[in-house]
Structure 1
Amino acid sequence: MTFSIVGRCAETGQLGIAISSSSIAVGARCPWLRAGVGAVASQNITLPALGPQILDELAGGLAAQTAMDRALARNGYSQYRQVAVVDAQGHTAVFSGSQALGSHHALAGEQCVAAGNLLADVGVITAMVGAFERSEGCLAARLLSALQAGQGAGGEAGAVHSAALSVVDDLTWPIVDLRVDWAEQNPIGQLQELWLAYEPQLQDYLTRALNPTLAPRYGVPGDE
């Protein structure tokens, strides 16, 4: 149903998630991020509340494993959940319940953790962690590289229909928040195209928000 990579950039401290699913609009339910705090992917039989709750616990000073364990215990039905966590220091935690769907696997790497269920092969997750650790460049590109590696290793057992990419830095809003909510074919490829279109404009949107007097022209009627 879902496979994801949660990661941190050791150079910038950025946190991010790339995720894909056979379900519609995976980006609306599963990735949760908070600048300076952490990133959480809540998936399988998804309980969206787990994301904000774990982030609250991290913000309160708990370790990633303890924060995740507390949220899972508080809500019950943990046997149906799959959760991956990276905190602001790059520490990880991961959980796959006994009722995780189909072939499932989760694996922590260097400042990253990948998890998936209903996989074509458990090697999908290993491929994602390896791709993230080997990749270079900005965090968003590294996360997408890992997601593509998972797809290349077999991805889900069935068709994938949605994908999302989100990254936080030191602002209160995500600096990258891109989604393909439904595609009959290749949502990961469409997400890559969105990123390639957005990447050259990313800094412009930050400048517009923080200091409109320095913003480049907007390219709309009336902008002179």
Structure 2
Amino acid sequence: MIDMAGTFSIVAFDPKNGDLGVAVASRVLACASVVPFAEAGVGAIATQSFANTTYGPKGLEMLRNKVNPQDAIKRLTDPDQDKGRRQLAVIDARGRTANFTGDRCLKWCGAASGPNYSCQGNILTGENVVQAMARAFETTEGEIALKMMAALEAGEAAGGDSRGKQSAGMIVMRKKGGYGGFDDKYVDLRVDDHKEPVAELRRLLGMKLRFARMMRGYDELQKKQWDQAIATFQALVNEEPDNGTHWYNLACGQSMAGRRDAALASLKKALQLDPTMMSHANQDSDLDAIRDEAKRQGVLR
């Protein structure tokens, strides 16, 4: 029998903002449907290697009740008759970590951990995989989504799963970090079957983080924080200069801030890149300050 959930993964905590997350990659279908569990303000868990998925909800309940990660692992694995085949990592909302690798997990198997993270894997090409992940997490700047992404990429570059590649995924929980602030799912991405799953996850994560920044820009507009909103949208334009939506949002911010010449130029660029936005622009009150001039110049109809 082959291991049905061999993988390499990382659990992590950001002490600056409380983010908790898990990132995972493997040579199995949809590994992120099995391995990661996390709850904002509570903790994160990776369960793998003939994964016992009850470890996720049970472990989070223990963390919710202030059980420390090491004790939680003991309580989870002690009654499990197949614990020798399990691998598990737990981190709590204080950044405390613990990991477990059963004595029957397939080689190479083990973990490398440090402040606010734990990297672990089985059926790997060698210990250097988790060591590379740990170094990447520690040396990468930015939020934990980016640090965990760097860890997966480093693990793959070091050899990764000895069987090859198939799937990857990431979750990051942040209080009210989900869409519209209605839930805590700040990042929830899966690549279930792909020739280059880690590279595809990087692409999706970039899209997700840019979308999150765009939503922050909308919020800044609502709060009449014109300078902040313009800076947010300008940064997005700089990163994706062929994205008409970014130019349009920049035009709205500039218009509302009274920067009419800049707003007209941005709106013109937006509609050149994406003419389908014309009907919305013709009705958008955010552009009222430049509407008459835009019509005179033929930018709007």
Query: Percent of aligned positions with the same letter in both sequences?
Result: 33
Q: Please state whether the residue corresponding to 1:55 is helix, strand or coil.
A: helix
Question: Which residue of structure 1 lines up, in the alignment, with residue 46 of structure 2?
Answer: 41
Q: 2:109 aligns with which of 104, 107, 122?
A: 104
Between 1 and 2, higher relative CO (CA 8 Å, sep ≥ 6) is seen in 1
| 1:79 and 2:84 aligned | yes
Question: Which residue of structure 1 lines up, in the alignment, with residue 201 of structure 2?
Answer: 191
Question: Which residue of structure 2 lines up, in the alignment, with residue 89 of structure 1?
Answer: 94
CA shift, 1:205, in A, is: 5.6
CA shift, 1:102, in A, is: 2.3
Encode CA deviations 1:104-126: one digit per residue, 9 max, x unaligned. 11121121000000001111001
| 1:10 and 2:21 aligned | no
CA shift, 1:99, in A, is: 1.1
Q: 2:210 aligns with which of 190, 195, 200?
A: 200
For the pair shown, the structure with the greater C-alpha radius of gyration is 2
Question: Which residue of structure 2 lines up, in the alignment, with residue 180 of structure 1?
Answer: 191
CA shift, 1:165, in A, is: 1.0
Encode CA deviations 1:107-152: one digit per residue, 9 max, x unaligned. 2112100000000111100111111111111110110001101011
Question: Which residue of structure 2 lines up, in the alignment, with residue 61 of structure 1?
Answer: 66
| 1:120 and 2:125 aligned | yes
Structure 2 matches for 1:147-162, cutoff 5 A? 147-162=152-167
Alignment length (residue pairs):
219
Q: Please state whether the residue corresponding to 1:163 is helix, strand or coil.
A: strand
Supply the distance in 2 between the matched residues of 1:46 and 1:33 (Cα, whole angstroms). Answer: 16
**Unaligned regions of 5+ residues in structure 2, if any?**
1-5, 177-182, 224-244, 249-273, 284-301
CA shift, 1:103, in A, is: 1.0
Do 1:175 and 1:206's aligned partners in 2 also have CA atoms closer than 8 Å? no
Aligned in 2, Cα 1:52/1:207: closer, same or farther, shift over 3 Å? Answer: farther
Supply the distance in 2 between the matched residues of 1:207 and 1:83 (Cα, whole angstroms). Answer: 39
Supply the distance in 2 between the matched residues of 1:206 and 1:115 (Cα, whole angstroms). Answer: 34
One-letter amino acid of the structure 2 residue matched with residue 181 of structure 1: D
Supply the distance in 1 between the matched residues of 2:199 and 2:140 (Cα, whole angstroms). Answer: 18
How big is the alpha-carbon RMSD for the aligned residues of Structure 1 and Structure 2?
2.4
CA shift, 1:76, in A, is: 3.1
Supply the distance in 1 between the matched residues of 2:102 and 2:217 (Cα, whole angstroms). Answer: 43
Question: Which residue of structure 1 lines up, in the alignment, with residue 55 of structure 2?
Answer: 50
Higher strand share: 1
Higher helix share: 2
- TM-score using structure 1 length: 0.90
CA shift, 1:204, in A, is: 5.0
Supply the distance in 1 between the matched residues of 2:36 and 2:214 (Cα, whole angstroms). Answer: 25
Moved over 4 A (4+): 203-208, 219-224
One-letter amino acid of the structure 1 residue matched with residue 185 of structure 2: P
Supply the distance in 1 between the matched residues of 2:116 and 2:78 (Cα, whole angstroms). Answer: 25
Supply the distance in 2 between the matched residues of 1:83 and 1:121 (Cα, whole angstroms). Answer: 18
One-letter amino acid of the structure 2 residue matched with residue 150 of structure 1: G
Supply the distance in 2 between the matched residues of 1:5 and 1:72 (Cα, whole angstroms). Answer: 19
Q: 1:144 aligns with which of 127, 141, 149?
A: 149
Q: Please state whether the residue corresponding to 2:78 is helix, strand or coil.
A: helix
One-letter amino acid of the structure 1 residue matched with residue 44 of structure 2: A
